Amino acid sequence: MKKILSILLALTMVLALAACGGSSAPAATQAAAPAATEAAAPAATEAAAPAEDSKIVVGFAQVGHESDWRTANTKNYQDVFSAENGYDLVFVDCDNDNAVQIEAVRTSIQQGVDYIILAPIQSAGWESVLQEAKDAGIPVIVADRQVDADPSMYDAFLGTDTSVEGKLAGDWLAEYLNGAEANILVIEGSVGSSAAIGRTNGFNEVAAEHPEWTILDSQSGDFTQTGGQEVMESFIKSYNGKFNVVVCQNDNEAYGAMDAMDAAGITYGVDGDVIIISYDATHDGLKYTLEGKINCNVECNPIQAAYVEQIIQQMEAGEEFATYTLVEDQAFVAPGIESAYATTMTQEILDGRAY
Ligand code: GYE
């Protein structure tokens, strides 16, 4: 049965490739064997596919729409992988559901797309479906978040280093507190996501060097504003008056946490009792940083699609491509704070932030 299935899959691939007018998807996996690409090209032309079929078909299994960061990231992919640019983007919003995302990748394989972009909700559990993509000869680019699978299971990774972001937040806090005591609450991102794991580990690495810091609690707010608000409300019930730092692993969680603190009459930011650290540095997150409500905002750049497109174009041309690309980030702090780790916010920086 398995054998028949894989023959069928292989056949689907061949047919899909023939109909693709020579989009030569295998070039990437066979970068070392240009002969195969050359041989495939004339056959594809003979198939006399209609012009629109010459588009490069890209399946994109996106995490969901949980945050402003994600909205900006999705829009960036839709702009870059547009029909005008020669792409047919098969976009799936997986709504933060890991099972849906695995199925989305599987469907892309069955459809015989030319490339798969995977922004994995969770880092674990990708081995079998990545193997299926490999067997079908469809290159996979893992974007934004990491997978635990061995790098040989996919073609390229492109994203930010979230443990560096976590460490940056910790280093900034140590500099800001300058030896003062910290009682810290952490609102984590989605459980099992490399973004939450990386930010937690990076921050904890610094916390471990500071005996004067106590992490009172750490709970997931699922990278959403509602999640951030709910976690903060329950933190306030348990720890009111006992905490002076809240770390929110993205801007939307910070908005929710601020709402919960406002409702409880807790002051925060540069003039308040509680220090807020956030991640992402989206437009509104930076607005709150400029206003002094968020003390430090660690950037995570969602504008990543052009890097992925470059990889795909290089694969198309049978050229070498980067298998591991890190998008660089920096941190921003509220006016009045001088930091060796971060840039002090200005109106000009905010005006320049498009997302
Ligand atoms: O920080 C968060 C989003 O994976 C780095 O996911 C990304 C994170 C980002 O929902 O806002």
User: Quick one: pLDDT band at residue 29, thresholds 50, 70, 90?
Assistant: very low
Q: What are the tens digits of pLDDT across the range 237-283?
A: 999 999 999 999 999 999 999 999 999 999 999 999 999 999 999 99
Q: How many CB atoms lie within 10 A of CB 10?
A: 14
Six-digit token string for 59: 């399946």
Q: What is the pLDDT of residue 327?
A: 94
pTM assigned to the model: 0.86
User: Quick one: pLDDT band at residue 52, thresholds 50, 70, 90?
Assistant: low
Q: How far apart are CA 234 and CA 230, in angstroms?
A: 6
Pick the atom of ligand 1 nearest to 66's CA: 10
Q: What is the pLDDT of residue 38?
A: 31
Q: Best of 122, 200, 280 to mutate for ligand 1, by most ligand atoms within 8 A of CB?
A: 280
Ligand 1 centroid vs 222 CA: distance in angstroms? 10
Q: How far apart are CA 338 and CA 151, in angstroms?
A: 40
Ligand 1 centroid vs 312 CA: distance in angstroms? 23
Q: Best of 69, 190, 220, 279 to mutate for ligand 1, by most ligand atoms within 8 A of CB?
A: 69
Pick the atom of ligand 1 nearest to 119's CA: 4
Q: What are the tens digits of pLDDT across the range 99-125?
A: 999 999 999 999 999 999 999 999 999
Helices (H), the chain: 2-19, 26-29, 34-46, 68-80, 98-111, 127-136, 162-177, 194-207, 225-239, 251-264, 283-290, 305-316, 347-351
What is the mean pLDDT of the segment spanning 330-354?
A: 98
Q: Is the CB of 195 under 6 A from ligand 1?
A: yes
The answer to whether 9 touches 136, Cβ cutoff 8 Å, is yes
pLDDT at 49 over 90: no
Q: How far apart are CA 119 and CA 255, in angstroms?
A: 24
